[in-house]
């Protein structure tokens, strides 16, 4: 694909989930096919074979490697192990927004308001980010908003069991674990007792601002999916349910955006939404109506935050990226509302919004020819203390 600005010969290795990599030189980039999840030796060997094949086809000889900042990513470890080629590290959600910009041919001459909503990404503070609002271009970013942190209990175990994430959000919202709630009933008494201790002590928990995990939690709260058999099962079933009820559905829920965290950052608080959904579940409101109302609330949140950022900065272009925007209903709701509010919207067209499109953003951040840093200087420095905290949190 054609790039909006030229780059030096570079290889970006992408992420660890839904891995794809990208080779680029001058005005063009070549993205690989789907490699997969970098969790076993066979996948890593397939990655290395595919890199060699694409280099042979394109003739690109990388002068620079680019990888995610996550200290535990196997893709990043592979890049660190390549001799004699400088390596740059790029923040995960910045790469998401840069990917959306490049996908739309944006030259990067003006920042955008970026919404990076996904399941997991290594944050600058070592937490699991995923509900981020960034003012970003290829040169840098500022985090101006994020979902309120809550505990992700047990790391990957919390991802595989949305009912545990639901109980975490209930605890954060100050809601009693009523056995009449589907997500509470789905957990055994022993499981609830262990979770209660974890959420009080923080033992084996990671802080997360993930929008993907919030979708999982609400899916479980309304009884759609408590344990997943494949990635994003809870969110996809929840979206399908909402699609059947969204027409004519009135707004039911609203996030709290009134808390400023300093340095121009706003907290997006889902607790009022969780409390209202619990009330509706216990009152017998159909799950499809609740699901539709939640999707509307997230779309309204995007518009509200975009308006607030525009009022402070004058920026009027919004970029939508991250795996949550694979949700067609949510994306369509945002595409309806944002232009009506006076925004230009950049969405993915040629590459996925998920981590499968991450490498393109890494390329654009780290490898531009004009006005960039010396080739041996990282784009961002890694906080090693935060890195140790996040190694398990984001694994």
CA distances from 34 to 22, 62, 73, 123, 175 (A): 11, 21, 17, 25, 42
pLDDT at residue 384 is higher than 60? no
What is this structure's pTM? 0.93
Residues 366 and 336 in one domain: no
Domain end residue (candidates: 346, 363, 384): 346
pLDDT digits over 75-111, tens only?
A: 999 999 998 999 999 999 999 999 999 999 999 999 9
In a domain, 175, yes or no: yes
Among 210-219, 259-268, 319-328, whose mean pLDDT is lowest? 259-268
In a domain, 152, yes or no: yes
Q: How much is the pLDDT for 178?
A: 96
Q: How much is the pLDDT for 238?
A: 98
The Cα–Cα gap between 281 and 290 comes to: 8
The Cα–Cα gap between 73 and 65 comes to: 15
pLDDT at residue 383 is higher than 90? no
Residues 83 and 24 in one domain: yes
Residues 384 and 287 in one domain: no
In a domain, 283, yes or no: yes
pLDDT digits over 157-189, tens only?
A: 999 999 999 999 999 999 999 999 999 999 999
In a domain, 216, yes or no: yes
Contacts 24+ apart (CB under 8 A), 278-287: 278/170, 278/173, 278/175, 278/178, 278/181, 278/221, 280/252, 281/181, 281/182, 281/221, 281/222, 281/223, 282/178, 282/180, 282/181, 286/245, 287/222, 287/223, 287/224, 287/241
pLDDT at residue 247 is higher than 70? yes
Among 113-117, 251-255, 283-287, 389-393, whose mean pLDDT is lowest? 389-393
SS3 content of the chain, % helix, strand, coil (to 5): 45, 20, 35
pLDDT digits over 13-38, tens only?
A: 999 999 999 999 999 999 999 999 99
Residues 263 and 297 in one domain: yes
pLDDT digits over 339-378, tens only?
A: 999 999 999 999 999 999 999 999 999 987 544 443 333 3
Q: How much is the pLDDT for 369?
A: 56
Select the more confidently predicted residue: 368 or 248.
Answer: 248
In a domain, 383, yes or no: yes
Phi and psi (nearest 5°) for 117? -110, 120
Mean pLDDT over residues 229-254, rounded? 95
Residue 30 belongs to domain spanning: 2-104+350-393
Q: How much is the pLDDT for 370?
A: 43
Bridge-based pairing of strands 205-208 and 22-31 is: unpaired
Measured between its terminal Cα atoms, the distance across the chain in Å is: 32
The Cα–Cα gap between 95 and 352 comes to: 13
Domain end residue (candidates: 346, 361, 384): 346
Bridge-based pairing of strands 2-12 and 22-31 is: antiparallel
Which string of DSSP letters, residue by residue, matches 114-147?
EEEEEEEEE-TTSSEEEEEEEEE-SS-EEEEEEE
User: Among all chains, which residue has been given the structure tokens 């997230």?
Assistant: 298
The CATH code of the domain that includes 312 is 3.30.420.40
Residues 194 and 272 in one domain: yes
pLDDT at residue 387 is higher than 60? no
Angle between helices 358-366 and 92-103 (to 10 degrees): 90
pLDDT at residue 231 is higher than 50? yes
Number of domains in the chain: 2
Beta-strand (E) ranges in 13-167? Answer: 22-31, 64-68, 87-90, 112-122, 128-136, 141-147, 150-153
pLDDT digits over 123-132, tens only?
A: 999 999 999 9
What does the buried/exposed string (b/e) look like for 240-266 if buried means 16 or more CB atoms within 10 Å of the residue's CB? ebbbebbeebeebbebeeeeeeeeeeb
Residues 165 and 278 in one domain: yes
CA distances from 155 to 77, 196, 274, 392 (A): 21, 15, 21, 7
Residues 225 and 335 in one domain: yes
User: Among all chains, which residue has been given the structure tokens 């979902």?
Assistant: 147
Mean pLDDT over residues 198-203, rounded? 93
pLDDT at residue 7 is higher than 70? yes
The Cα–Cα gap between 54 and 344 comes to: 35
Mean pLDDT over residues 291-317, rounded? 98
Residues 210 and 338 in one domain: yes
In a domain, 122, yes or no: no
pLDDT at residue 52 is higher than 60? yes
The CATH code of the domain that includes 93 is 3.30.420.360
* HSE-up of residue 124 (Cα within 13 Å, Cβ side): 13
What average pLDDT does the chain have?
Answer: 92
As a residue count, the chain comes to 395
262 falls in which pLDDT band (50, 70, 90)? confident
In a domain, 32, yes or no: yes
User: Among all chains, which residue has been given the structure tokens 């840093």?
Assistant: 373
Local structure of 379: helix, strand or coil: coil
In a domain, 125, yes or no: no
CB 316 within 8 Å of CB 342: yes
Mean pLDDT over residues 102-121, rounded? 96
Residues 23 and 48 in one domain: yes
Partners of 133 in beta bridges: 115, 145
Residues 73 and 58 in one domain: yes
Residues 336 and 374 in one domain: no
263 falls in which pLDDT band (50, 70, 90)? confident
Residues 178 and 270 in one domain: yes
């Amino acid at each position: 694909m054609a790039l909006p600005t030229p780059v030096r010969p570079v290889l970006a290795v992408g992420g660890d989930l839904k891995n794809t990599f990208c080779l680029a030189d001058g005005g063009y980039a070549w993205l690989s096919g789907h490699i997969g999840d970098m969790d076993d030796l066979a996948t890593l060997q397939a990655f290395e074979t595919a890199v060699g094949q694409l280099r042979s086809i394109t003739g690109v000889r990388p002068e620079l490697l680019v990888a995610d900042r996550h200290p535990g990513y196997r893709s990043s470890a592979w890049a660190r192990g390549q001799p004699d080629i400088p390596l740059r590290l790029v923040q995960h959600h910045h790469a998401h927004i840069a990917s959306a910009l490049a996908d739309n041919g944006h030259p990067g001459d003006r920042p955008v308001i970026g919404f990076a909503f996904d399941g997991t990404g290594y944050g600058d503070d070592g937490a699991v980010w995923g509900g981020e609002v960034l003012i970003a271009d290829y040169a840098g970013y500022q985090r101006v908003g994020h979902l309120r942190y809550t505990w992700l209990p047990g790391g990957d175990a919390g991802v595989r069991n949305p009912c545990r994430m639901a109980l975490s959000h209930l605890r954060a919202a100050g809601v009693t674990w009523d056995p009449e709630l589907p997500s509470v009933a789905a957990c055994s008494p022993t499981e609830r007792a262990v979770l209660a201790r974890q959420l009080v002590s923080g033992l084996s928990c990671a802080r997360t601002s993930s929008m993907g995990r919030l979708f999982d939690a609400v899916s479980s709260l309304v009884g759609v999916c408590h344990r997943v058999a494949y990635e994003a099962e809870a969110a996809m079933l929840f979206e399908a349910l909402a699609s059947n009820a969204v027409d004519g559905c009135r707004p039911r829920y609203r996030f709290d955006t009134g808390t400023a965290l300093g340095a121009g950052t706003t907290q997006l608080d889902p607790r009022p939404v969780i409390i209202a959904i619990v009330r509706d579940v216990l009152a017998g409101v159909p799950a499809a109506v609740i699901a539709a109302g939640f999707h509307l609330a997230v779309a309204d949140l995007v518009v509200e935050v975009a308006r607030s950022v525009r009022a402070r900065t004058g920026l009027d272009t919004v970029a939508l990226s991250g795996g949550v925007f694979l949700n067609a209903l949510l994306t369509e709701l945002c595409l309806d509302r944002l232009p009506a509010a006076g925004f230009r919207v950049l969405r993915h067209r040629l590459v996925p919004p998920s981590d499968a499109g991450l490498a393109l953003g890494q390329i654009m951040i780290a490898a531009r020819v004009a006005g960039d840093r010396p080739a041996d200087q990282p784009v961002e420095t890694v906080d090693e203390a935060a890195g140790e905290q996040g190694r398990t949190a984001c694994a």
